């Protein structure tokens, strides 16, 4: 496969191009390709080209990259054509759910809804209308691709053959990996602490209802959601499936301007005000307050783990035995091993940990890389503070059970990685074979401007 050609089993998501294109760029538009009933415009190619240029991902001439982009777009339109032929459908609800997710992603990249609207120079409603078609097309393409790759697997024999076929000088290096064990103490939050937070929120609600202060002002002063507090608690228009279930049920049952009672979610306690509802989208404000683990309870947890560490170091208990006796975490069921959520299994690299600690829901990985980088194999750490996946304060002991130094990939240590590489190659071969067969049967025309591209596949209909 020519290196300049984009990977065909990974479709380009066009909305990212729209998001990143330079506002002042002017493209004289025309149809540069037709696949069945689907057209590709010059602006489609140019917008994607601008995206790669801004990311610094362009190698070689601009012409070569534009050819590669057009070939990827031809593949996408070929899948759309197949979806029409096979009567593949997607529901409006599926489209709206995916659209909400994409909009949230774009708002996160822009920094705020206002900045996103400024970049597009459109209202949020106009942005959604523009992206809805693209989201639907992408979803249909995904269904067709899933059908193409359904049932594709690699056997152990194929994995071994793939590995033996790799030149020894092209085997990638695998960074240092660890098997990590932990003992976690999760101090309970007292009923008194929970009641105190709820009462404080009820008092804030009362002050707002009596006109003593506005909801947005109280959110700025008291909310413990750093993302929305500085915006007066406003969350922006969001669809179903984006909130915690309890929060969503409350938000979608409020009237404009109405303020909810105090509700509890996994993140803490909230009061919610509905600003506006548009169909299946709501724009809310909220004030979040969290019940804190008492300092005394945290100190007790730290002391218990100090005792556990001494027992392990003195040889009175193994780490696994101490885990069963002291740990409050579900990892105690597998001896305290931390599971790699990206690959499965107990081996995890520092880079994996550093990536995970920035994702919501993986708070337990924060600062873990720093802790294990200071430990030798088999050495138990002192108790270190942590935040659990449900945002509760806790303490833990950490031990590096085994350390795998950086090395060239091999079957014994890296079977799952090589299996993934072999499967990716097989998927790509299946996709390429599908393109060759379907391109012969579909009506395809490519503008003569791209006649010299030297595409990997034969796209022009005879």
pLDDT band at 430 (very low <50, low <70, confident <90, very high): very high
The Cα 19–Cα 139 span in angstroms is 19
Do 144 and 213 lie in one domain? The reply is no
- The residue out of 235, 261, 289 marking a domain boundary is 289
Same domain, 84 and 197: no
Q: How confident is the model at residue 188 (pLDDT cuts 50, 70, 90)?
A: confident
Instruction: Dump pLDDT digits (tens) for 128-140.
Output: 888 888 889 999 9
Q: Average pLDDT of 447-459? A: 91
Residue 263 has what pLDDT? 95
Chain position carrying tokens 């097309």 = 137
pLDDT higher than threshold 90 for residue 127: no
Residues 238 and 321 in one domain: no
Say which residue, 82 or 101, is predicted with more confidence. 82
Who wins on pLDDT, 111 or 461?
461
Task: Give me the domain span that covers residue 375.
Answer: 177-188+293-405
- Token digits for 8? 């065909």
* Average pLDDT over every residue of 54-74: 79
Distance (Å, rounded) from C-alpha 194 to C-alpha 373?
A: 37
Give the SS3 label for residue 404: strand
User: Does residue 171 lie within any of the structural domains?
Assistant: no
pLDDT at 380 (0 to 100): 96
Q: How many domains, in total, are found in the chain?
A: 3
Do residue 181 and residue 324 come from a single domain? yes
Query: What distance in Å separates the CA atoms of residue 183 and residue 11, rounded to the nearest whole number?
Result: 42
Task: Give the pLDDT mean for 174-188.
Answer: 92
Same domain, 360 and 245: no
CATH number at residue 227: 3.10.50.40
- Count each helix (H run) and each strand (E run) in the chain, helices first: 16, 13
Distance (Å, whole) CA 269 – CA 198: 7
| Shared domain check, 365 and 237 | no
> What is the rounded distance in angstroms from the CA atom of residue 456 to the CA atom of residue 462?
17
Token match 């790699």: residue? 340
Closest C-alpha among 263, 303, 290, 248 to residue 388? 290
CB contact set of 204 (below 8 Å; sequence gap of 6+):
218, 222, 271, 287
Which tens digits make up the pLDDT trace of 371-429? 998 999 999 999 999 988 777 889 999 999 999 889 899 998 888 889 999 999 999 99
Asked if pLDDT for residue 97 goes beyond 60, the answer is yes
Q: Which residues partner with 399 through β-bridges?
A: 181, 380
CA quadruple 222, 223, 224, 226: dihedral positive or negative? negative
Write down the pLDDT at residue 220.
Answer: 93
Q: Which pLDDT belongs to residue 59?
A: 58
Considering the domain boundaries, does residue 413 fall inside one? no
Instruction: Work out the pLDDT band at 441, boundaries 50, 70, 90.
Output: very high
pLDDT of 57? 56
CB atoms within 10 A of CB 394: 21
User: What pLDDT score was predicted for residue 433?
Assistant: 96
One domain, residues 129 and 26: yes
Per-residue pLDDT at 54 = 67
Give tens-digit pLDDT for 229-280: 888 999 888 777 778 889 999 999 999 999 999 999 988 999 999 998 887 7
Query: Which residues lie across from 174 on neighbouring strands?
Result: 407
As given in the structure block, the two tokens for residue 460 are 């022009």
In a domain, 455, yes or no: no
pLDDT one-digit tens code per residue, 195-219: 999 999 999 999 999 999 999 999 9
pLDDT digit string, tens, across residues 325-354: 999 888 888 889 999 887 778 889 888 888
Q: Give how far Cα 218 sits from Cα of 113, 133, 204, 225, 229, Å.
A: 21, 40, 7, 12, 9
Same-domain pairing of 244 and 376: no
Task: Say what the pLDDT of residue 56 is.
Answer: 62
Statement to judge: residues 262 and 201 lie in one domain: yes
* pLDDT for res 170: 85
My answer on whether 184 and 207 are in the same domain is: no
Q: Is the pLDDT of residue 71 over 90?
A: yes
Whether residue 53 has pLDDT greater than 90? no
> Cα separations (Å) of 128 from 41, 55, 100, 239, 456?
21, 25, 9, 12, 35
What average pLDDT does the segment 97-111 reach? 77
Q: Whole-model pTM?
A: 0.63
CA distance 65 to 57: 10
How deeply is 404 buried, as exposed, middle or buried, from its count of CB atoms within 10 A (0-12, 13-18, 19+)? middle
pLDDT digits (tens, 9 = 90+) for 266-321: 889 999 999 988 877 888 999 999 988 888 999 999 999 999 999 999 999 999 99
Last residue of a domain, one of 289, 320, 345: 289
- The pLDDT tens digits of the residues spanning 363-383 come to 889 889 999 989 999 999 999
Q: Which residue has the tokens 């639907």?
A: 136
Point out which residues pair with 400 in neighbouring strands: 180
Q: Are strands 38-41 and 31-35 parallel, antiparallel or unpaired?
A: antiparallel
| pLDDT for res 20 | 42
Whether 172 maps to a domain, the answer reads no
Cα(352)–Cα(346) distance, integer angstroms: 12
Give the model's pLDDT for residue 16.
41
- Assess if residue 129 is contained within a domain: yes
| DSSP code at position 242 | S
Domain-ending residue, one of 289, 318, 334: 289
Domain-located, residue 38: yes
Q: Is residue 362 classed exposed, middle or buried when 0-12, 13-18 and 19+ CB atoms within 10 A define those classes? A: middle
d(CA 229, CA 225): 6
The pLDDT confidence band at residue 23, using thresholds 50, 70 and 90, is very low
Whether 433 maps to a domain, the answer reads yes
Any domain includes 219 = yes
**CATH number of 124's domain:** 1.10.4030.10
Residues 25 and 135 in one domain: yes
| Pair 460, 442: CB distance under 8 Å | no
282 and 327 part of one domain: no
Summary mean pLDDT of the chain = 86
């Amino acid at each position: 496969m020519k290196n300049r050609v984009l990977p065909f089993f990974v479709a380009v998501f066009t909305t990212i191009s729209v998001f990143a294109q330079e506002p002042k760029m002017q493209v004289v538009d025309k149809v540069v390709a037709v696949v069945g009933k689907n057209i590709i415009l010059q602006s489609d190619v140019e917008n994607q080209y601008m995206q790669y240029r801004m990311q610094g991902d362009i190698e070689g001439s601009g012409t070569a990259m534009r050819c590669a982009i057009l070939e990827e777009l031809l593949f996408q339109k070929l899948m759309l054509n197949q979806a029409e032929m096979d009567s593949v459908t997607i529901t409006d609800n599926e489209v709206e759910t995916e659209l909400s997710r994409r909009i949230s992603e774009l708002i996160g990249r822009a920094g705020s809804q206002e900045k996103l609207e400024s970049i597009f120079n459109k209202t949020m409603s106009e942005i959604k209308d523009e992206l809805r078609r693209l989201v639907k097309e992408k979803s249909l393409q995904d269904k067709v691709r899933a059908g193409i790759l359904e049932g594709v697997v690699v056997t152990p024999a194929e994995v071994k053959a793939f590995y033996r076929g790799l030149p020894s000088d092209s085997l990638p290096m695998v960074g240092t990996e660890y098997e990590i064990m932990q003992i976690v103490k999760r101090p309970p939050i007292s009923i008194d602490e929970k009641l105190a937070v709820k009462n404080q929120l009820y008092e804030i609600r009362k002050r707002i209802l009596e006109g003593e202060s506005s909801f947005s002002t109280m959110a700025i002063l008291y909310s413990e959601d750093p993302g929305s507090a500085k915006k007066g608690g406003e969350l922006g228009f969001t669809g179903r499936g984006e909130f915690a279930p309890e929060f969503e049920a409350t938000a979608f049952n409020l009237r404009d301007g109405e303020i909810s009672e105090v509700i509890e979610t996994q993140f803490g306690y909230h009061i919610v005000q509905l600003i506006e509802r548009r169909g299946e989208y709501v724009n809310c404000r909220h004030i979040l307050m969290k019940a804190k683990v008492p300092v005394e309870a945290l100190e007790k947890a730290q002391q218990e783990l100090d005792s556990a560490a001494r027992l392990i170091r003195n040889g009175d208990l193994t780490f696994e035995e101490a885990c069963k006796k002291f740990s409050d975490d579900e990892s105690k069921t597998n001896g305290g091993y931390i599971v790699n959520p990206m690959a499965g299994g107990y081996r995890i690299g520092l880079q994996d940990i550093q990536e995970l600690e920035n994702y919501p829901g993986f708070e337990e990985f924060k600062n873990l890389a720093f802790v294990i980088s200071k430990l030798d194999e088999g050495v138990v750490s002192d108790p270190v503070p942590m935040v659990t996946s449900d945002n509760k304060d806790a303490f833990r002991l950490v031990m590096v059970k085994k350390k795998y130094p950086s090395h060239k990939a091999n079957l014994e240590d890296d079977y799952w990685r090589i299996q993934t590489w072999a499967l990716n190659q097989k998927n790509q071969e299946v996709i390429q074979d599908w393109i060759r067969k379907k391109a012969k049967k579909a009506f395809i025309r490519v503008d003569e401007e791209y006649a010299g591209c030297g595409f990997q596949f034969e796209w022009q209909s005879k």
